[in-house]
Structure 1
Amino acid sequence: MGVRVAIVAESFLPSVNGVSHSVLRVLEHLREAGHEALVIAPSSGGQVPSSYAGFPVVAAPSGTFPGYPDLPFGVTTSLRMETVLADFRPDVLHAAAPISMGHKAITVAHRMGIPTVAIYQTEYASFATRYWIGPAQSFIWRRVRHSHSLATMTLAPSSYTRQELINRGIPRVGLWGRGVDSVRFSPAHRDEAWRREVAPGGERIIGFVGRLAPEKQVEDLRVLADLPGTRMVVIGDGPRRAELEQQLPQALFLGQLTGDALPRAMASLDVLVHPGELETFCQTIQEALASGVPAVAPARGGPIDLIDPSHTGWLYPAGDLATMRSQVQDLVGDDRKRHAFGRAAREAVRHRSWSAVCADLVGHYRTAVDAHRLQGVV
């Protein structure tokens, strides 16, 4: 029996980030599995599509986070949200990274007796500190607690994040990870011509892939600048690009890559380093592992679940850049070990398809609906 799902996405196309990426994969699965969906998303200056995967997209006014105009979030009235939900009559509401419009959606759905699944995906409170608005942290955590406490179920993307939410007093927290396209991201896309162009001296290529924003801590890569026989490549764009180009003059900045260019570049790296300490999951690491590329990251947040130390990469204590440097040096300096790590990395994630992960999500939807009925709320 099909499920009718209203997805309220705090971020959506044309923005490309972890929130929008996972929502797109969920919509594709819902269409393939014969479910019904409606999306409510920020208008992003009128650029949001009117539909996706055959499902209608209702555009809402949008705002942007201070210091990060490329990351819009939705704003709307309770009356408008109630009208849209009443017209669609969903079995369940999926709130993707609720903070503004998602918070309002959960509040309205609670009042209307609609079960809700809140997907915790972004450390908004910690972002506030990175963007020089630290005093907003306590307000943001109050908002997060209120939204997720009202939700029928909250799903965290990693065990670390789940425990953090529980410690913050949020009830009914489960786990829902992310899938990876192991056909698109595969060692088969390794391109020796690309490698010769990037590292003409045959250097080992150290890569970063992601948004060039404060929370990614790309500047930490400076401790790798003088590793002999290496070439650093930075893939991505964002508000800190110009500043980072000055801080990392030895690095090659390739900008944001899309289409076939991204998996080709990913598979052609020797090591991926992702120094951000605020990752609730970190899809980039999973894509690197699927590409047969070992990863190095802080032992905080999502990377803890993704990287198996001494098998698929290394985890270093958050902030310990000397250890990060030694771990990267260990991999670039030992071809046999690096290749063994790469093979293990591929094997560890290649079965984590989006189809399987999204099927699990539909199971969570059904559990939320059943729980809501048992509570006698409907």
Structure 2
Amino acid sequence: MRIAIVTESFPPDVNGVANSVVRAAEHLVARGHEPLVVAPAPAGGRRRRADHHAYPVVRIPSVPLPRYQGFRLGVPRVGLTGALLGHRPDVVHLASPFVLGAAGASAAARHGLPTVAVYQTDVAAYARAYRVGWGEAAAWRRIREIHNSAQRTLAPSTRAAADLITHGVRRIWLWRRGVDAVRFHPARRSVRLRATLAPDGELLVGYVGRLAPEKRVELLAPITALPGVRVVVVGDGPVRRQLERALPAARFLGVRHDDALAELYASLDVFVHTGPHETFGQTLQEAAASGVPVVAPASGGPVDLVESGVTGLLVPPDDGAALAAAVAELAADPARRARYGAAARVAVARRSWDAVGDELIGHYEAVLAGTPAGRLPA
């Protein structure tokens, strides 16, 4: 098959959408298919480093997203339709469509190309958090219009699917994300790194993710006050400086990739996620694969990823005190931490990117065959 992937984000961006698109495109190449990626152009000199891939990448002119430092919106007036038609795709894959993806959906409809839309970003929640011009209700209207124009929408979690259904989106299937359980492995735990980050043998608690308002990273503050606990924050984003002031006891490590990130995960004692608006939560899977128990809000994607009392603990969203209480529980019980971490590893170890990629190909094939979505699979 020839597949055109129109995405709102792509490397050098570091986020779940960009990572999922790279994984999908790589898997398509490995299975003998021919993907094309159409993505916003990054700022300045980052473009050259971004496009060394085993498949063509077409960059569309972009502009900065107001109020969201580091993210750019593709301006689809130039090049999009030509790129799609030039590739002659069998299927158009819309990755987290909103601006560039909406234009991709329109172009596909005009030229009779079937589309699969992947819902991955809670744009409506972001509109509320950033108070951007279109507003939450308008964001949902746009999401509904885009996704209902597609032959199939893929949702990453049951909570995300429920939100889509509530707001009138039809033809929804679940398509979760994979994890590299070879890279993210308990064996990467590093005595050296732990000695650097927790030199007095403290319980090492970590957050990994974008440092942006909707992630609610400031909720880590009560955890930093726990005795015998050290908190590390991995990632970057528009509110890093504010967070460094708000969390003076935490250590900010910046962005880590690949083996360095895997070593960091495995060296933690507890992983904490703070954001209440995740449609999935890839960092939770990576921590779980590393054998680390997870504490997260009982909201969005984490509800599918954390079995509370088995692989970690779920707490009420937007509640820093509850996060701290859960960490304190685990700090007091090393055997429980070990049990949760081992169970977390078992729960995600079979969710390989190869298996998830084959599921995606199955969705493409079903759309081409005209198979109706029917009811949302369990």
Same fold (TM over 0.5): yes
Post-superposition Cα deviations, 1:27-75, rounded to whole Å, max 9, x if no partner, equal: 1101110001111111113533585542111110112322223122212
CA distance in 2, matches of 1:259, 1:198: 19
Is residue 97–residue 122 contact of structure 1 (8 Å, CA) maintained in 2? yes
Counterpart residue number, 2:2: 4
Counterpart residue number, 1:27: 25
Is residue 10–residue 99 contact of structure 1 (8 Å, CA) maintained in 2? yes
Q: Give, in angstroms, the shift of residue 194 of structure 1.
A: 0.7
Is residue 206–residue 231 contact of structure 2 (8 Å, CA) maintained in 1? yes
Counterpart residue number, 1:169: 168
Tell me, yes or no, if structure 1 residue 58 matches structure 2 residue 55: no
Counterpart residue number, 2:334: 335
CA distance in 1, matches of 2:54, 2:273: 35
Counterpart residue number, 1:275: 274
Three-state SS of the structure 1 residue aligned to 2:19 is helix
What's the RMSD between the two structures over aligned residues? Answer: 1.6
Moved over 6 A (4+): none
Tell me, yes or no, if structure 1 residue 182 matches structure 2 residue 167: no
Counterpart residue number, 2:73: 73
Post-superposition Cα deviations, 1:320-352, rounded to whole Å, max 9, x if no partner, equal: 333222211111111000001111011110111
Three-state SS of the structure 2 residue aligned to 1:94 is strand
Counterpart residue number, 2:376: none
TM-score (norm. length: structure 1): 0.95
CA distance in 2, matches of 1:358, 1:28: 9
Is residue 296–residue 313 contact of structure 1 (8 Å, CA) maintained in 2? yes
CA distance 1:256–1:148, change in 2 (3 Å): same
Three-state SS of the structure 1 residue aligned to 2:370 is helix
Post-superposition Cα deviations, 1:246-269, rounded to whole Å, max 9, x if no partner, equal: 101111111111232111111000
Counterpart residue number, 2:350: 351
Three-state SS of the structure 2 residue aligned to 1:95 is strand
Post-superposition Cα deviations, 1:301-330, rounded to whole Å, max 9, x if no partner, equal: 100010011110011121233322221111
Q: Which amino acid aligns with 1:92?
A: V
Is residue 206–residue 273 contact of structure 1 (8 Å, CA) maintained in 2? yes
Tell me, yes or no, if structure 1 residue 264 matches structure 2 residue 263: yes
Task: For 1:93-132, list aligned pairs within 5 A.
Answer: 93-132=92-131
Q: Percent identity?
A: 48
Is residue 186–residue 263 contact of structure 1 (8 Å, CA) maintained in 2? yes
Is residue 31–residue 53 contact of structure 1 (8 Å, CA) maintained in 2? no
Is residue 216–residue 318 contact of structure 2 (8 Å, CA) maintained in 1? no
CA distance in 2, matches of 1:63, 1:14: 15
Counterpart residue number, 1:207: 206
Q: Give, in angstroms, the shift of residue 132 of structure 1.
A: 3.0
CA distance 1:337–1:64, change in 2 (3 Å): same
CA distance in 1, matches of 2:204, 2:109: 51
